[in-house]
Amino acid sequence: METRFDLIRLADPHIKEAERILRTCVHCGFCLATCPTYLLLGDERDSPRGRIYMIKDMLEKDRPADASTVRHVDRCLSCLSCMTTCPSGVNYMHLVDHARLHINETYERPAAERALRRLLAALLPYPGRFRLALVGAVLARPFAALMPAKLRHLMTMAPRRLAEPSAYDRPAVHRAKGERQKRVALLTGCAQQVLTPAINAATVRLLTRLGCEVVVARGAGCCGALVHHMGRESDAQAAAKRNIEAWEAAGPFDAVIANASGCGTQLKEYGFLLRDDPEWSARAAALSDKARDVSEVIAELDLPPTRLSGLPVLAYHSACSLQHGQQIPSLPGDLLKRAGFEVRDVPEGHICCGSAGTYNLVQPELSARLRERKVGNIRQTGADVVAAGNVGCIVQIAGGLDKPVVHPVELLDWAQGGPKPPALSDNA
C-alpha cells in the first residue's frame, strides 16, 4: 500500500511503525472471508481492509478521528483472524491498537459512551471493585427496568450467583509434588478471579501435581489488555510495569503462565508495548520471552493417562486470542485427547464468539449475533461439554448454551485426580 506520511510525522516512532504496517498490505482482500463483522454486516468498512484504509487516511492527515471512523474501528473485535489469513503478514493488531490510541486522544465520545468506558476501566481490572459491582448488580436487578439501556444490559450480563473467592488467588508459593521440574509464575488475572475462580485453583493443583512450583507473586495484577484495547495505552503500560516488577522480585522463573488466552497474548506483547521506554524495553522483552499459555507448559510435562472412566464428549472452542493472537490453534484440544477425552472440533472454529474483552459490553447487538452463530455451531457437534481456554469465551458461550462450558485445565485436573469442575456438578 502506498503511503504519504511527511518526514515530521515519521519522526514519531508510533507513526513510523504504523507506516511500516500499512506498506505491508497489498489490498488482496483475503481478510474479508474470515472477518466476523464483515461476515455479519457485509460492509467493506467493517472489514480489516476497509478499516486499514480509514486508519491510513486518519493518520496520514494527522486529523482527529471522526464519528464514521470511530464507529467502524469500534466494531472491530480484535479477534485477529485476519492476521492468520493474511498472506502478506500485515500486523493488524498493532495498527488497530494505535488507531484506538489516536481515537482516545482526539475524539470526544457521547457522554453515555464515555461514562460506560470509564466505568469498565475503573472496575474490571480490579477484582475487589468488580466483585462489589456484581453484588450491587444482583441487588439492583429487580429495578433493572427503570435503568438506562446500557446499564440494563450490563446487569443482564452479571451472574446470578457469585463463587466464593479462592485462596489460590492470594500471593503464595505452591510447592511441586515430588521432584521439581519447573518454577513458574501464574498470572491470576482480574475478572477471572471473580467470575471463574475454579480455573486458577485447577491450574495450581494440576501444575504442582506435574512437578511445577507455582508462584502467585505479590503485586501482580491485571495484564492491561482490557484498557489497552480501549485506547488507554498509558494505563496498559502502567499495568505491565507493575507486573514486571512483581515477577522480577519473586523470580527467577522458567515461565510466566497465563490461563486466560487474552491475558497471554498481552503478556507476549509487553516487549512491543514498552519498546520505546529505555528503562523498561529490555525488561519487558525478557518477560515476553518467558510468557506462555498454560497449555504450552503442560505439553512440556509428563501428563499421565486419566484415572476416570465415562468422561463426557467435549467440543473444543479455540479462543481467538489463542489461535490467532498466539498461533496455538489446537494444543489444548490435543492435551484433552491425550488425557482420554473424546474431543470434537467446532465448525467455523476460526470465527469469534463475540466476547472479545469488553466487546460484549460495548457492542451488545453484534456480540449477541456472533454468540448465536457460535452456539449453533457448537450444537452441531453433539458434545456434552464445551472446553474453552479464555474466561471471556466461557462466560459468553455459557450465556447462550444449555451445556456446561469449562476451561481445559479444569478438565485435565479432574482427569488427574482433582475435583470435578463446578460447572459439571449436579447442582450447577
Residues 141 and 172 in one domain: no
pLDDT value of residue 140: 78
CATH number for position 50: 1.10.1060.10
Q: Is 406 exposed, middle or buried (0-12, 13-18, 19+ CB in 10 A)?
A: buried
| CA dist list (Å): 426 to 309, 399, 404 | 17, 18, 11
Residues 318 and 389 in one domain: yes
What is the distance between the alpha carbons of residues 153 and 361, in angstroms, rounded to a whole number? Answer: 8
Q: Is 107 helix (H, G, I), strand (E, B) or coil?
A: coil
Could you tell me the sign of the dihedral formed by the alpha carbons of 202, 206, 209, 211, in that order?
Answer: negative
* Domain membership flag for residue 304: no
Residues 328 and 418 in one domain: yes
Residues 141 and 174 in one domain: no
Residue 265 has a CB neighbour count (10 Å cut-off) of 26
Residues 181 and 285 in one domain: yes
Residues 26 and 149 in one domain: no
Task: Report which of 377, 220, 212, 218 is spatially closest to residue 300, judged by C-alpha positions.
Answer: 212
pLDDT value of residue 42: 95
CATH number for position 255: 3.40.50
Question: How is residue 285 written as a grid cell?
Answer: 522483552
* Domain membership flag for residue 309: no
Q: What is the DSSP string of 249-318?
A: HH---SEEEESSHHHHHHHTTHHHHTTT-TTTHHHHHHHHHHEEEHHHHHHTS--PPPS-SSPPPEEEE-
- Where is the domain boundary, 106, 124, 147? 106
- Where is the domain boundary, 246, 267, 299? 299
Residues 392 and 271 in one domain: no
- Where is the domain boundary, 261, 276, 299? 299
DSSP 88: T
* Domain membership flag for residue 239: yes
Q: What is the pLDDT along the chain (428 residues), one digit of tens a residue?
A: 888 898 888 999 999 999 999 999 999 999 999 999 999 999 999 999 999 999 999 999 999 999 999 999 999 999 999 999 999 999 999 999 999 999 999 999 999 899 999 999 999 999 999 999 898 887 777 777 777 776 777 777 778 788 889 999 999 999 999 999 999 999 999 999 999 999 999 999 999 999 999 999 999 999 999 999 999 999 999 999 999 999 999 989 999 999 999 999 999 999 999 999 999 999 999 999 999 999 999 999 988 888 788 899 999 999 999 999 999 999 999 999 999 999 999 999 999 999 999 999 999 999 999 999 999 999 999 999 999 999 999 999 999 999 999 999 999 999 999 999 999 985 44
pLDDT value of residue 163: 87
Residues 406 and 343 in one domain: yes
* Domain membership flag for residue 266: yes
Structural domain count of the chain:
4
CATH number for position 392: 3.40.50.1860
Residues 23 and 100 in one domain: yes
pLDDT value of residue 196: 94
* Domain membership flag for residue 409: yes
* Domain membership flag for residue 1: no
Task: Report which of 91, 333, 54, 359 is spatially closest to residue 230, judged by C-alpha positions.
Answer: 359
Question: How is residue 141 written as a grid cell?
Answer: 436487578
List the domain range (segments joined by +) for residue 36.
7-106
Q: What is the DSSP string of 171-185?
A: SEEEPPSSS--EEEE
- Phi, psi (5° rounding) for residue 178? 80, -155
Residues 144 and 171 in one domain: no
Residues 96 and 209 in one domain: no
* Domain membership flag for residue 305: no
- Kindly report the pTM of this predicted structure: 0.93
Instruction: Report CA Rg, the chain.
Output: 21
* Domain membership flag for residue 197: yes
In what helix (H) or strand (E) does residue 186 lie, and over which residues does it extend?
Answer: strand 182-187
Residues 269 and 222 in one domain: yes
pLDDT value of residue 426: 54
